[in-house]
């Protein structure tokens, strides 16, 4: 799905095979796509947990990367001791993915593509915005709500009220009012810095319109 996520991406399978042809071992950076592969939709998490209840969601990505024979090492930024411990459990001893597990992951990836998250990995290359907008926090809050099923649909019912409240309260907690999408003037100074080619002003305006709509439908 590399090209579907970002047209500037190069298929990792192609890159890996080019290295293998030249006997150059591969070094994998960002095996969790900047954390995106450990923050998945609740349905996807449930699916992975059902298959391997004792393993973390992140461990699937590490095992995927490590299963390829010409991978020399997998580099990952770890902020907390629990991440380090989890990664050690994944790699010592290492259990490569079976063919069935590979197929299971490809089907899981197809499922992930159905959820409309924005491919922001919180790299912050778009920052600082000259108008003070906290771009990554806004996009990540939106993604979190998509993954947790808190993107309210319709205008009525208990589910709508719960999701609406979760979205709006969470938005104010995650992003100070003055740094929210409503203050974006659309200058696009941020856009060219985004390695994921996200159309940042459009996404911010879309999220702002969504927020305004939620506020009006109290």
* Binding-site ranges for ligand SF4 (CB under 6 A): 120-126, 129-131, 133, 135-136, 139, 184-190, 193-194, 196, 198, 200-201, 204
Contact 59, 38 (CB under 8 A): no
- 96 or 192: whose CB is closer to ligand SF4? 192
Minimum separation from the CB atom of position 130 to ligand SF4 (A): 6
- 31 or 136: whose CB is closer to ligand SF4? 136
Minimum separation from the CB atom of position 129 to ligand SF4 (A): 3
- 157 or 192: whose CB is closer to ligand SF4? 192
- Strands 26-28 and 71-74: what pairing? parallel
- 101 or 122: whose CB is closer to ligand SF4? 122
Minimum separation from the CB atom of position 197 to ligand SF4 (A): 8
Supply the DSSP string of 110-176, one letter for each residue: HHHTTS---------TTPPPTT---HHHHHHHHHHHHHTT----SS-HHHHHHHHHHHHHHHHHHS-
- 67 or 182: whose CB is closer to ligand SF4? 182
Contact 120, 90 (CB under 8 A): no
């Amino acid at each position: 799905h590399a090209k579907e996520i970002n047209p500037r991406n190069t298929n990792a399978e192609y890159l890996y095979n080019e290295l293998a042809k030249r006997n150059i071992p591969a070094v994998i950076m960002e095996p969790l796509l900047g954390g995106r592969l450990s923050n998945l939709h609740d349905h996807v998490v449930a699916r992975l947990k059902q298959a391997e209840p004792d393993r973390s969601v992140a461990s699937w990505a590490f095992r995927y990367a490590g299963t390829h024979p010409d991978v020399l090492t997998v580099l990952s930024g770890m902020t907390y001791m629990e991440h380090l411990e989890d990664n050690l459990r994944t790699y010592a001893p290492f259990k490569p993915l079976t063919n069935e597990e590979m197929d299971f992951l490809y089907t899981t990836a197809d499922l992930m593509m159905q959820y409309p998250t924005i491919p922001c990995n919180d790299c912050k290359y778009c920052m600082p915005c000259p108008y003070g907008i906290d771009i990554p926090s806004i996009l990540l809050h939106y993604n979190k709500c998509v993954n947790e099923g808190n993107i309210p649909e319709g205008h009525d019912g208990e589910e709508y009220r719960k999701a609406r409240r979760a979205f709006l309260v969470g938005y104010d907690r995650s992003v100070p009012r003055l740094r929210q999408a409503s203050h974006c003037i659309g200058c696009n100074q941020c856009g060219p810095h985004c390695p994921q080619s996200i159309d940042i002003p459009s996404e911010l305006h879309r999220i702002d319109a969504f927020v305004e709509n939620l506020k009006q439908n109290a």
